[in-house]
């Protein structure tokens, strides 16, 4: 047994991965992993994953990303940005969007993206502040995180503290539709990957992977079902691996 690590979770939707982690952590009865979930945050109000957390007695909060981005489109006042927001630093580090330095439109778009996300990320951080977590687990959190947020969790160089699950065998098929991309490519093997978050999209060090066969006649729904079943095994196992190395 490892020391029990304190985990925070972020979700965007149904939360079946969150449920698998809750079930493995097991509350006080029969835990299979050395992890305690302290909170579940969501970027979207009203999602089923929040109910799963509440049912398990876990604190929840919502940062309404869509609402924040919408209101940023009306204009972003300097005072709305986090006081420690440093555009130069973030632009230099981020690997989420490519920057065409000859295009003012591209520069404005990227800066809007980074500013609006940092405003939302500061709200996430404010909610998380009162919890002392060892690891943040993204369990179907469908937002990229910018260096503004990442640097405030990864405070020790070389020590990653944010984990994500991706629905494909990385480095193949990064992006938002891993199972769809795997299926449409005609792959005979699909899979899922748990990795640490770095400054790129789905590029951080891989912690674990699981694969499954895609048989003739399988539909996209079959691929998603097979994939999710693997995810529910893989994610708790990777959290345990982290706990044992902590």
Tokens of 221: 């729904």
Q: Which stretch binds ligand GRF (CB under 6 A): 34-42, 127-135, 162-170, 212-220?
A: 162-170
Decide if 166 is catalytic: yes
Q: Which stretch binds ligand GRF (CB under 6 A): 15-23, 53-61, 94-102, 215-223?
A: 15-23
**Phi-psi category of residue 152: left, alpha or beta, with phi > 0 → left and psi -120 to 50 → alpha:** alpha
Within its chain, how far is the Cα of 187 from the centroid?
25
By CB under 6 A, tell whether 153 contacts ligand GRF: no
Measured from the CB atom, is 166 or 210 closer to ligand GRF? 166
Smallest separation, CB 104 to ligand GRF (Å): 34
Contacts with ligand GRF in 214-233 (CB under 6 A)?
A: 228, 231
By CB under 6 A, tell whether 165 contacts ligand GRF: yes
Site track 23-62 with ligand GRF (rule: CB under 6 A), x = hit = --------------------------x-------------
Residue numbers at the binding site for ligand GRF (CB under 6 A): 11, 13-17, 49, 139-140, 165-167, 192, 228, 231
């Amino acid at each position: 047994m490892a020391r029990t690590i304190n985990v925070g979770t972020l979700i965007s939707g149904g939360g079946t991965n969150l449920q698998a982690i809750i079930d493995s952590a097991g509350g006080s009865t029969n835990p299979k992993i050395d992890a305690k979930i302290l909170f579940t945050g969501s970027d979207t109000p009203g999602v089923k994953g929040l109910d799963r957390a509440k049912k398990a007695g876990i604190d929840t909060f919502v940062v309404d990303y869509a609402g924040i981005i919408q209101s940023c489109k009306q204009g972003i006042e300097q005072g709305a940005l986090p006081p420690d927001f440093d555009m130069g630093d973030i632009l230099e580090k981020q690997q989420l969007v490519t920057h065409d330095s000859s295009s003012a439109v591209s520069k404005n778009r990227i800066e809007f993206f980074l500013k609006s996300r940092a405003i939302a990320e500061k709200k996430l951080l404010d909610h998380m502040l009162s919890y002392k977590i060892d690891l943040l687990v993204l369990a179907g959190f469908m937002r990229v995180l910018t260096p503004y947020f990442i640097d405030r969790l990864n405070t020790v160089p070389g020590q990653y503290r944010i984990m994500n699950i991706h629905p494909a065998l990385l480095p193949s098929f990064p992006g938002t539709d891993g199972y769809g991309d795997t299926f449409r490519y005609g792959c005979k093997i699909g899979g899922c990957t748990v990795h640490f978050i770095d400054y790129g999209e789905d590029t951080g060090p891989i912690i674990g992977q699981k694969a499954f066969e895609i048989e003739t006649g399988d539909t996209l729904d079959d691929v998603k079902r097979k994939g999710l079943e693997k995810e529910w095994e893989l994610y708790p196992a990777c959290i345990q691996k982290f706990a044992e190395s902590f």
